[in-house]
Amino acid sequence: MKLVRRASRPLLPLLLAILAIAAAPRDLAAQSGWLPTSWFSAGEIDPQAMFPLAENDGPWLVLATTFRGDGAREDARSLVQEFRRDQKLKAYTLEKSFDYTGKQQGLGLNPDGTPKKMRFANSEEVVEVAVLVGDFASFDDSRGQKMLAKIKGLHPKSLSGDSGKSQSFSDFRKMIGLDRNAAKGPMHLAFVIPNPLLPEDFFTRQQVDKFVIEMNADVTHSLLDCPGRYTVRVATFTGAGTFDQKAIEGGDDGVKLESRLVEAAEKAHRLTKALRRGGWQAWEFHDRESSIVCVGTLQQLASPGPNGAPVMNPEITRIVRELGPDPAKLATGAIMPRSFDGIMLDVQPKPVDVPRVPSGWR
């Protein structure tokens, strides 16, 4: 097609994907599972390693079991090591401490109007260590459900007999009747949970589907490769109207609509390269309706200031100041967007979430 021949060589895979959008249904389902990743890295396992859970693990995992009290760490270490060594599973531990020694605010008030203070019957500090397995895209990920069934039926050596060192393990065996019914696996109460380390808004953030991933797969500085939690959008190029199937089939009008999205992708690609040459950490991203260019890799939008009030990340301030509207013209009431390499930037740069993608998507 003419549009493809006019495109620069590095953009050919992207433009071919864009031109294929017209034939793709608009209501493509979101990805149902993560792209294939290595489940187990070969090599010796450090016998002291606990393999602590991280925020980028999951986002859904199988909670195999939890150990509590003295010996919890040793029991959890034995199980996670056995999972990785013998079952070749991607297993992790997550430790939490609970302090029941201090005073707690009770119900009601004292005669003088002050809140009642109470203590727990058993004043102690308790350590709990959970063992979790897998990296699954959703609660109903078929791989996760298969793993759940497998975990429930396993009889690990580290959970057999009297091998458990934590008091809670012994109490747990009695509670679920394992001493009376050996047919049940010691983890038959396992269930699927979201990664508890993820931020509260993780599951409301934009999740990129397979088709959009393929559109960005051959982009050198794709926003999907940005390691940050946030970035700043500095330019938006729209290809609105490109999905009118009748117009696309209608000849010249279809070519005009088609070319708008191609032009948007080319501008975003050119601007990204220009910003990179200018020393900016720029990223480009293309979807079904537009192409955008972002700058920066940010883990947080704000941090506590000297008086405790949140202060905007200074990198965001710098990006807005240098790539946003000219402050001198703003002072006169004129809102004029800047240009970079002859390409107009957005009137107002805006912090945005980096889209979520499967681990190891490239």
Does the pLDDT at position 150 exceed 60? yes
Distance in angstroms (rounded) separating the CA atoms of residues 125 and 66: 16
Pick the residue with more confidence: 175 or 137? 137
Q: Which of 194, 218, 244 lies at the terminal end of a domain, its last residue?
A: 194
Question: What's the angle, vertex CA 51, arms to CA 49 and CA 54, rounded to 5?
Answer: 150
Q: Which of 147, 171, 194 lies at the terminal end of a domain, its last residue?
A: 194
Residues 233 and 327 in one domain: yes
Distance in angstroms (rounded) separating the CA atoms of residues 84 and 66: 17
Is residue 39 one of the residues assigned to a domain? no
Region 252-262: mean pLDDT is 64
Region 226-247: mean pLDDT is 74
Query: Using one digit for the tens of pLDDT, what is the confidence trace for 107-132?
Result: 667 777 677 766 555 555 778 999 99
Nearest to 262 by CA among 19, 43, 47: 19
Residue 258's domain comprises 2-30+207-353
Is residue 72 one of the residues assigned to a domain? yes
Residues 111 and 166 in one domain: yes
pLDDT at 151 (0 to 100): 95
Is residue 64 one of the residues assigned to a domain? yes
pLDDT at 136 (0 to 100): 86
The whole-model pTM stands at: 0.50
Residues 237 and 330 in one domain: yes
Residues 218 and 346 in one domain: yes
Is residue 8 one of the residues assigned to a domain? yes
Is residue 82 one of the residues assigned to a domain? yes
Residues 216 and 161 in one domain: no
Residues 320 and 269 in one domain: yes
Q: Which of 169, 194, 219 lies at the terminal end of a domain, its last residue?
A: 194
| Domains contained in the chain, number | 2
Residues 157 and 282 in one domain: no
**Lowest mean pLDDT segment, chosen from 101-115, 200-214, 282-296, 329-343:** 101-115
265: enclosing H helix or E strand: helix 252-277
